[in-house]
Chain A
């Protein structure tokens, strides 16, 4: 058990909300959340569908552990075909929304069609209805959150919503819940906007039970919590510095890309690091970091809650919402908004991060897109005529702030930046400057200095992404074992192992960050105790591999081929200059054939019949 066994199907074209039984055979094969929602999507949607057409569907899905007392068990995912990439999209978020869905009695919500008018979905336990969002359309995610709380008069209502860029067609709009948690990547918020669905507001009071073996579950959960508490990363590093603990570490090993990945190594890294966020500032004697925060049920609490320096230029004369605390910089955002754009002004980055949350923008793709625009500006391809007068040089904090405000309001250079780097660079005739795979931008680890992550980027099913297979754990941090970052030997096996395990974790309701401390031998017992059926380590890994291959199959059917498993030339040919990784390029060609082989794919990157049979696909 542990699933509620109920799906809410919302047909936006007809305006109907209907309950369905969960397909328990599929639950046994795909567990929940990412895996199970993707199964529903591939069964119901043509892989060649236009992502922004009414024929695409969007699924919000919890895992079987979501809403339970297991540490970090508040996650949900948004699964759809992504507009940024045209590939499968699955964006995972924490905060307090997933548990609220579960408490309302739903494992997942399937949205189909397109509403004739803007609407939002209101869920109160079994009751679900579409309501007019006429007043909400055109508002920011933060405004919508406040307005829905005012309408429903219940402080415990949880809201997921989109901001203005999603409505304007920005290709990388996020779904924001609880004001500063995001299903961030691949443009899942853009799909939501294309359906005229502005928000989902949910209140659940039914409780999460149905645990298969409660005593066994509580024991496994407590054992797991102890492991997290005793581990140096999850017990100390992440609560103190958040993921920002990585900024100085990754820069130190020559793995921090800078200036649109022209080179690795950023002089200003220390200024925007987790340590810098603890430094008291001159104006009010307070540090950037106000407190750390946990998502639902999380005993790690890596979340950053920050305030901008009250004297900083970015917030002068601006709204009250920027003068107080809100979600602060995480590592990937700090890298993309900071190192990649060359801006080392911590407060400017914090303000831009606020705007990304307030208006529902993926800060990784956004930062990388601005970085590409900055390179084109410095090359003279973009001029002030294109930028609306903004002097978009690398490192110019004022320009960066102005560009972000333009994106949010849809004015000036905003519509260009809303394209994402691939479309932007193609538009201006410099496609080689987009640092992306399958149209999605890289996160914060240089694949020239860290080989395995390059293979993971190239093969990630949702385009470049660290969260599909975080080999950094092994290649840099030595988790679970250290592999040499500049070696390619053994990396195909490493990438596959991380990708498969991650697919399982993303399907459970747990947070991937637990895997800094937890192995599958910590996770499987929690799933096994909660769910009916036998969830051994072996079965979990098999389910993870099945999910990975299902996603791959969808992408192949959508038109992706082996030609799309590639990295930009810059990372394959332009060696890093200076620092610990001097002279390195990514040697993708040394790893990719072996990766296909161990995946059980042919040379075109397609599943062989044997693989389909082995994984029951």
Chain B
């Protein structure tokens, strides 16, 4: 079964535990500036949005890479950057429509979410379940369920 990170921004409090967990997993220190998941704060709207790679099946970054540094981890479906191959050309960062693969000055390579090999640290650290790791076939169904609930005649039936 393939799993996906599922993000529900409404539940996010902006605490950055996901960034702490991600950076510790990948760099060994607590360093939000090197996290592969980012929480954006929209102050005027009072909203927070965690955002990271959705692991496209047909990945723009992978197709754009001139040196085949991005490959698929077949156990998780994650698109993974091989540091030994990456030349830091940043073409993938231009190709990605979501901006979720990024250049790191610290390493001279691009960095992106690798799903931590199938046990994402961000999801484990999130205190409000704004980030969960779920069956990939279920992405979006919570919203479908919420829409379905609205279509019911009685408010009491809201799930």
Contact = CB atoms under 8 A, between A and B. Distances in A.
Interface in A91-108: 96, 99, 103
Given A291-B47, A325-B46, A299 B15 contact: yes
Contact of A69 (B33, B44, B125): B125
B28 A298 contact: no
B34 A207 contact: yes
A179 B43 contact: yes
B33 A156 contact: yes
Interface string A205-248: 11111000000000000000100010000000001000000000
A67 B27 CA distance: 15
B16 interface: yes
Contacts of A301: 13, 15, 127-128
Nearest to A299: B127
B21 interface: yes
Contacts, number: 89
Given A69-B20, A299-B127, A325-B43, A204 B33 contact: yes
A409 interface: no
Central interface residue in B43, B45, B128, by most chain A CB within 10 Å: B43
A71 B125 CA distance: 10
B30 interface: yes
Given A229-B127, A307-B46, A324-B44, A293 B30 contact: no
A385 to B, nearest CB: 40
Contacts of A306: 46
Interface string B39-50: 000011111100
B118 interface: no
A328 to B, nearest CB: 9
Interface string A291-331: 11111111101010111000000000000010011100000
A103 B46 contact: no
B29 interface: yes
A290 interface: yes
Which secondary structure dominates where chain A touches chain B?
A: loop
Interface in B23-76: 23-24, 27-34, 43-48
Interface string A453-465: 0000000000000
A294 B15 contact: yes
A68 interface: yes
Contacts of B125: 69
B14 interface: yes
A68 B16 CA distance: 11
A290 B128 CA distance: 17
Contacts of A205: 31, 33-34, 106
Contacts of B16: 96, 294, 296-297
Nearest to A179: B43
Contacts of A292: 13
A481 B5 CA distance: 42
B17 interface: yes
B140 to A, nearest CB: 23
B21 A69 contact: yes
A206 B105 CA distance: 12
A534 to B, nearest CB: 23
Given A69-B24, A69-B125, A324-B46, A208 B31 contact: yes
Contacts of B48: 291, 293
Given A69-B125, A205-B31, A299 B44 contact: no
A327 to B, nearest CB: 10
A297 B20 contact: yes
Interface in A161-205: 179, 204-205
Given A69-B30, A156-B33, A291 B46 contact: yes
Nearest to B128: A301
A240 B15 CA distance: 16
A242 to B, nearest CB: 12
A208 B30 contact: yes
**Most A Cβ at <10 Å: residue of B14, B16, B28, B46:** B46
B27 to A, nearest CB: 6
Contacts of A293: 13-14, 46, 48
Contacts of B128: 301
A524 B16 CA distance: 23
Contacts of A325: 43-47
A207 B13 contact: no
Nearest to A103: B31
Nearest to B45: A325
A297 B15 contact: yes
B17 A69 contact: yes
A397 B132 CA distance: 45
Contacts of B17: 69, 71, 297, 299
A303 B15 CA distance: 11
A37 B46 CA distance: 34
B11 to A, nearest CB: 10
A67 B30 CA distance: 7
Contact of B29 (A96, A209, A299): A209
A305 B106 CA distance: 35
Contacts of A303: 13
A296 B15 contact: yes
A239 B129 CA distance: 14
Given A205-B34, A207-B31, A325-B46, 17 more contacts: A69-B17, A69-B24, A179-B43, A204-B33, A205-B31, A207-B23, A225-B127, A239-B13, A290-B46, A291-B47, A293-B13, A294-B15, A301-B127, A324-B43, A325-B45, A326-B43, A326-B46
- Top 4 A-B residue pairs of the complex, sorted by shortest distance between their CB atoms: A325-B46, A207-B31, A294-B15, A207-B29
Interface of B: 13-17, 20-21, 23-24, 27-34, 43-48, 106, 125, 127-128
24 contacts: A69-B17, A69-B21, A69-B30, A103-B33, A179-B43, A208-B29, A209-B28, A209-B29, A225-B127, A229-B127, A239-B13, A291-B48, A293-B13, A293-B14, A294-B13, A294-B127, A297-B15, A297-B17, A297-B20, A298-B13, A299-B127, A305-B46, A325-B44, A325-B47
